Amino acid sequence: MEPVLGVKIGCLFALLVLTLVCGLIPICFKWFQMEATRGHPQRGLRLLSCISAGVFLGAGFMHMTVESLENIELEIQKITMKNRTESGGNSSGDANSDYTDYPYGGLIISLGFFFVFFLESLALQCCPETIGRSKVQEEEVSEAHVCGLHSHEPSPSRRPFRALILLLSLSFHSVFEGLAVGLQTTVASTVQLFLAVLAHKGPVVFSVGLRLVQIGTASRWAVFCIMSFALMSPLGIALGLVVPGRDSQVGRGLAQAVLEGVAAGTFLYVTFLEILPRELAGPEAPLVKWSCIAAGFAFMALIALWA
């Protein structure tokens, strides 16, 4: 067995074990269940939940969005260079500049955001009694909030849908992360990229497990979700082992970059419309919540210095 192949197989199992352990901790320990705690432990759990919201925010901005923007820009440049080479360098420089200067990455991420927004709006339009509250109910809740009858729970029936979108977007991203590890050709580059993935994988999957517990997901389904999510990065590594890496076509790289951008957009949608509103509506002091969310974001930003 070649050394690099052995290292990749080791990375595959290490990512699987780490994801399972970090994701199952909030599910297996009752301390992380809000209804099972009282007093100071419950307050600590709410603060931990705010920190996890900051982790999601940091993962969205400092990792998924940045990586998708870089990859989309790189693939667009490859296509431009290829077209320029095939045309013998006779293509207009202004036209090429227009193609490369357009913010394709931002457009694709926004399309991912609006795609999930459309799906949820369509579901609300077609099945309002099963997917979410009606407009009148939302107005009643808003009036009760103004009168001092606070309701801190966001629309409960939307949570399973948004939790599914969260898992799907993270799963897409995890597959591509694993694929990048599997396509490395040297031991040093494989280990370096593996450690970078490992650094932010743990906090993110822990936050996913905590989120599943907080929305009231049944234990068996929460475990199933974590196990499915844990298989994504190893699946990507396995794909990288069986497909050629350096002679990959431009079209395939562009398709991968587009999927990463769509996944980033869906992740941002769930982060801003589900996770952050829920934490900001909690009973803790506003500055305390801000501090915890900022701490989670700062942690992911610190990891981005070398990951």
pLDDT digits (tens, 9 = 90+) for 250-261: 667 787 788 888
Query: What is the mean pLDDT of the segment spanning 19-34?
Result: 81
pTM of the model: 0.69
Write the DSSP symbol of residue 282. Answer: S
Considering only 58-72, 101-115, 151-165, 268-282, which range has the smallest mean pLDDT? 151-165
Write the DSSP symbol of residue 119. Answer: H
Higher pLDDT, 189 or 89: 189
Amino acid at site 214: Q
Q: What is the rounded CA–CA span in Å between residue 55 and residue 47?
A: 13
20 band by pLDDT with thresholds 50, 70 and 90:
very high
Percentage above 90 pLDDT, the chain: 8
239 band by pLDDT with thresholds 50, 70 and 90:
confident
Q: What is the rounded CA–CA span in Å between residue 29 and residue 17?
A: 18
Percentage above 70 pLDDT, the chain: 77
pLDDT at 73: 87
pLDDT at 72: 87
pLDDT at 187: 84
Q: What is the rounded CA–CA span in Å between residue 302 and residue 307?
A: 9
Q: What is the rounded CA–CA span in Å between residue 148 and residue 90?
A: 69
pLDDT at 92: 55
**Helix ranges (DSSP H) in the chain:** 3-28, 40-58, 66-86, 93-101, 104-126, 128-131, 135-146, 159-182, 187-214, 219-230, 232-242, 250-270, 276-280, 286-303
Q: What is the rounded CA–CA span in Å between residue 92 and residue 80?
A: 11
CB–CB of 52/300 below 8 Å? no
Query: Which among 25-29, 151-155, 158-162 has the top mean pLDDT?
Result: 25-29
pLDDT at 56: 85
Query: Which among 165-179, 187-201, 216-230 has the top mean pLDDT?
Result: 216-230
Considering only 136-140, 175-179, 212-216, 287-291, which range has the smallest mean pLDDT? 136-140
pLDDT at 215: 78
Query: What is the mean pLDDT of the segment spanning 10-38?
Result: 80
Query: What is the mean pLDDT of the segment spanning 90-96?
Result: 55
Write the DSSP symbol of residue 275. Answer: I
Q: What is the rounded CA–CA span in Å between residue 289 and residue 269?
A: 20
Query: What is the mean pLDDT of the segment spanning 180-187?
Result: 80
Considering only 130-134, 159-163, 241-245, which range has the smallest mean pLDDT? 130-134
- In degrees, to the nearest 5, what angle opens at C-alpha 185 toward C-alphas 179 and 188? 100
- With a cut of 50, say whether residue 147 has pLDDT above it: no
Pick from 155, 127, 165: nearest CA to 269: 165
